A and B are shown apart, each in its own frame.
Chain A
Amino acid sequence: MSTFDFLVLYWPRLLSGTGITIAQFLLAAVLGVAVSLCMGLLKLSHNPVLRGAAVTYIEVFRGTSLVVQLYWIFFVLPLFGLSIEKFTAGYVAVGLNIGAYGAELVRGGILSVPKGQWEAALAINMSPAKRMRRIILPQALVNMLPPWGNLMIELLKGTALVSLISVADLMFEARQINASTYLSAQTFGVALIIYYILSRFMVTPFMRWLERHMARKLGKA
């Protein structure tokens, strides 16, 4: 079977798999960004308990394998009475994992804002919360966007693991097709190309656009 015939026959399944991959990616990204902000801020807290919670979170999710985390959330948590449907378990695991890496980026971004900015905000008597929200975070965000671009690509590729708990994403469909046709080169070749297109022509351009947009807001461009 030629690659063309292969595509004609299997494109609906590959397409629906791609759709699920994109959905998993977007949901995990939203969750990951939220977790990153939260944990990044907690890690800078003066309260040792809050800081300890953030450190523990980051250590656990960065220090262990994403697949094991995924299995914990999908297979082990039900044993403690917390059952999560597989689609949700998929993006939650990936999002929580990326959030641990993102937390360090948030923390680093915040610390990279010059001391003078903190002092100027204090000199106009801003409350710590307002200072963070209105002065520090907007600048920190611009500083941390380039590494976030990398992390987002990692995140996209990480979503392939949700196929292991039978979420019908692109990787899952590819494995199913391969199992019934043994056309490994075509199946995984097409999957490879689709992942590449998603990261190279969707995620990266979007992050670049965001960087330019934020730089303009800072009056840098």
Chain B
Amino acid sequence: MNDVSAFPLEISGSPAPMVSFRKVTKSYGALTVLDELDLDIAAGEMVSIIGPSGSGKTTVLRMLMTLEQINGGVIYVDGQPLTHMPKNGMLVPASQKHLRKRRADIGMCFQHFNLFPHMTALENCMEGPVQVLGLSKTEARERSEELLEMVGMIGKKDQHPSRLSGGQQQRVAIARALAMRPKVMLFDEVTSALDPEVIGEVTNVIRKLVSEHNLTMLMVTHQMGFARDISDRVCFFYGGKIEEQGPPAELFGNPKKERTQQFLSAVKEAI
């Protein structure tokens, strides 16, 4: 039983963190994937999560996107509880309605893109704005074309995903997520399924987002160089906990914990 009576109904403070994990636990049966995770992400901050596979990195994003339910603790987004909702002055597990309302702040890009195969690139981007936000087709098309332009895919807007390369599909997927105007963007190993020569076209789009937009971003990645370049902060996950975190220069340049050192040197050897 997840006792949340000790958690606040909302997070105030100036400025309040955009995302806040408070003692969040996730387990599958006897296997604990995340163990009382505490993580605050400030508005506009770019945080990268690195770590060995099975360390719970992706689970963090999936819980925030509400694709997975948590077993303990509370997640807050923009000061308001996401996994729970206030009722009679107490936090109770979120209803579907509450989840739909709070989920609107969050967008996600997946390792395998997950574009809708029966829609063109443009239709993929327009689907959410029209069907979920209730925009007119004209407004949705305008917004989507602007974003496809931004990710460099306007020339392929009428192509179905099957006609696009992995890098192109991922760029469309980024545009599709941005079309919903989320406050928080999640990137789940977005370059892991790509051929090496097209990784750059996706990372360049993310770089552009970091420099030109004030989005809060959380990224799980195996691209250490990329994480080092663009993150405000890097978290090294190990065994369902944050083993070490800090500014990229510090974490990559002078890791304090032995496990971080081992992981980073193992990664270096692989290159």
Contacts and interface: CB of A to CB of B under 8 A. Distances in A.
Interface of A: 114, 116-117, 119-127, 130, 134-135, 138-139, 142, 217-220
Interface stretch (B84-92, B160-168, B255-263): B160-168
A122 B176 contact: no
Contacts of A125: 100, 103-104, 128, 132, 180
B114 interface: yes
Interface stretch (B115-123, B214-222, B244-252): B115-123
Given A123-B177, A125-B100, A219-B161, A116 B114 contact: yes
A144 to B, nearest CB: 14
A126 B114 contact: no
Interface of B: 65-67, 100, 103-104, 106-108, 110, 112, 114-118, 120, 127-128, 131-132, 159-163, 173, 176-177, 180
Contact of B118 (A120, A123, A219): A219
A136 B131 CA distance: 15
Contact of A218 (B107, B117, B177): B117
Contacts of B176: 124
Given A123-B106, A123-B110, A139-B117, 4 more contacts: A114-B114, A120-B114, A123-B67, A123-B177
B161 A122 contact: no
Q: Which of B110, B118, B163, B176 has the most CB of A within 10 A?
A: B118
10 contacts: A114-B114, A119-B110, A120-B115, A122-B65, A122-B103, A123-B106, A124-B107, A124-B180, A125-B132, A219-B120
A117 B128 CA distance: 14
Contacts of B120: 219
A219 B159 CA distance: 8
B132 A126 contact: yes
Contacts of A219: 117-118, 120, 159-163
Nearest to A123: B108
A132 to B, nearest CB: 12
Contacts of B103: 122, 125
Given A117-B114, A119-B114, A138-B118, A127 B100 contact: yes
B65 A126 contact: no
Contacts of A123: 65, 67, 106-108, 110, 177
